[in-house]
Amino acid sequence: MKKNILITGGAGFIGSHVVRLFVNKYPDYQIINLDALTYAGNLENLSDIDSKANYTFIKGDITDLAFVSNLFKNYKFEGVLHLAAESHVDRSISDPLAFIMTNIVGTVNLLNAAKECWANDMNGKKFYHISTDEVYGSLGKTGKFTETTSYDPRSPYSASKASSDHLVRAYFHTYKLPVVLSNCSNNYGANQFPEKLIPLVINNIKNSKSLPIYGKGDNIRDWLFVEDHALAIDSIYHDGKIGETYNIGGDNEWTNLDLVKKLCDIMDKKLNREMGSSQRLITFVKDRAGHDQRYAIDASKIKKELGWKPSIQFEEGFEKTIDWYLQNSDWMNNILSGDYEKFYEQQYTNR
Ligand code: NAD
Ligand code: TYD
């Protein structure tokens, strides 16, 4: 009998990399990808594994408690990897409620359904909550976030993720639900929705459009290649200790301005453009409200306890990422035209 494993948000950026890894690596798992296909969910991200026998896609919304409970009753999941979320800080500033609903209420619905489903036997079960380093707030010039850094979320996005993290830990302490958590830094790679800095900048450079830099561009983020995050998730899901939290990061800090300049230079070379021409597209725009200054992760716990470390360094990661976006212009064009939302209908009505 295959084990049914639920992955939520599997049609999104990170979720799609996790689904692909699990479907290919674990033939004894039946991977159920539950995704509401919001603007950020795109089944084209999974077209290469869509027809595999150990993969099932279900369209559904984690804010719908009755739906979520029934799903657990039908599939009797052995494990849950929870990635579904509203994930963009700028959107959380203009529409916080969507973040409260999906990130908090949706997470509680999953926790409740798992608690009911596993009430008689928690043995071997695992509820893995995937979260962000943004829950820890903002750093000054020095220091790094560790697993014991106090929570200090400052955007509606990070506050909603912090709240969900607290609820996951509350279910561990109160109901003994077997949980594990991770908090990761900024990811980059293939299939990221072009509202986020790196795909937005790559696409704008390609089309010679302006590159918006918020404020002075001196905010710092720690960037991790998405496939390395997926490998860390695999390792935590299988070997992470129940009740524990693991920080995941790339040891790869960049100011936004330096990062964008780096992408400009790589793109000038790849597109045979005059060196420096893309940097002239940089445009400083109004700063994000409450813009966190610096994030940096101390990932020594996962390195020491689980033996994970990033396998791809930034030069290789940025090159791979740029190549992917240049070679997959249909993917980007489908998103920009809205056609990606029709992909699901076509895929499933033709069966
Ligand atoms: P994403 O926005 O690309 O994907 C989110 C997915 O969740 C989409 O497929 C969307 O359709 C789905 N979804 C949204 N609301 C839903 C709902 N109500 N019911 C069911 N599905 C729903 O996000 P991402 O960047 O892949 O992030 C995935 C997870 O990783 C999130 O929990 C995020 O907080 C966390 N995270 C992201 C980063 C990052 O750099 N992107 C870093 C650390 C942690
Ligand atoms: P983003 O990719 O939105 O991730 P997050 O806000 O979760 O870190 O943004 C990364 C950084 O880039 C952040 O400091 C905001 C900045 N940024 C810009 O300067 N211009 C942009 O157009 C975007 C989308 C982000």
Give the Cα separation of 128 and 82 in Å (integer). Answer: 6
The SS3 call for residue 255 is strand
Q: Which residues have any ligand 1 atom within 6 Å of their CB?
A: 8-9, 11-15, 35-38, 40-41, 61-63, 83-87, 102, 106, 130-132, 161, 184, 186-187, 193
Q: What is the pLDDT of residue 166?
A: 98
DSSP secondary structure of 145-169: B-TTSPP---SHHHHHHHHHHHHHH
The percent of residues above 70 in pLDDT, for the chain, comes to 98
Domain range 3-191+223-251+293-314, CATH class: alpha beta
Name the residue type at position 217.
G
φ, ψ of residue 199 to 5 degrees: the values are -65, -30
Which atom of ligand 1 is nearest to 102's Cα? 18
Question: Which ligand has an atom closest to residue 197 CA?
Answer: 2
**Are the CB atoms for 74 and 6 separated by under 8 Å?**
no
Per-residue pLDDT, averaged over 236-245, amounts to 98
Quote the mean pLDDT of the chain. Answer: 97
**Closest by CA position to 250, among listed 276, 222, 281:** 222
Backbone angles phi and psi of 79, in degrees to 5:
-150, 155
pLDDT classification of 341: cutoffs 50, 70, 90: confident
Would you say the CB of residue 204 lies under 6 angstroms from ligand 2? no
**Side chain identity, residue 188:** Y
Residue 112's pLDDT is 98
How far CA 205 is from CA of 74, 199, 278, in Å, comes to 48, 10, 6
349 confidence band (pLDDT: 50, 70, 90): low
Torsion sign across C-alpha atoms 247, 186, 152, 80: negative
Does the C-beta of 219 come closer than 6 Å to ligand 2?
A: yes
pLDDT level of residue 1 (50, 70, 90 thresholds): confident
The DSSP code sequence of 82-141 is E------HHHHHH-HHHHIIIIIIIHHHHHHHHHHHTTT--TT-EEEEEEEGGGG----S
- Residue 257 token pair: 């301005």
User: Shortest CA distance to 11 belongs to which of 48, 53, 46?
Assistant: 46
pTM over 0.85: yes
Element (H, E) at 67: helix 65-75
pLDDT grade, residue 342 (50/70/90)?
Answer: confident
User: For 260-280, what is the mean pLDDT?
Assistant: 98
Tokens of 322: 């740029």
Question: Which residues pair with residue 223 across a beta bridge?
Answer: 186
Q: What is the pLDDT of residues 77-95, one digit of tens each?
A: 999 999 999 999 999 999 9
Assess whether the C-beta atom of 17 lies below 6 angstroms from ligand 2: no
347 pLDDT more than 70: no
Summarised one tens digit per residue, pLDDT across range 95-107 is: 999 999 999 999 9
Tens-digit pLDDT profile for residues 313-332: 999 999 999 999 999 999 99
Say if residue 155's pLDDT is above 80: yes
Positions annotated as catalytic residues are 133-134, 157
Quick check: 343 pLDDT over 90?
Answer: no
Domain regions of the chain by residue span: 3-191+223-251+293-314
What is the C-alpha separation between 43 and 45, in angstroms, rounded? 5
> What is the mean pLDDT of the segment spanning 156-162?
98
State the first-to-last Cα distance of the chain, in angstroms, to the nearest integer. 26
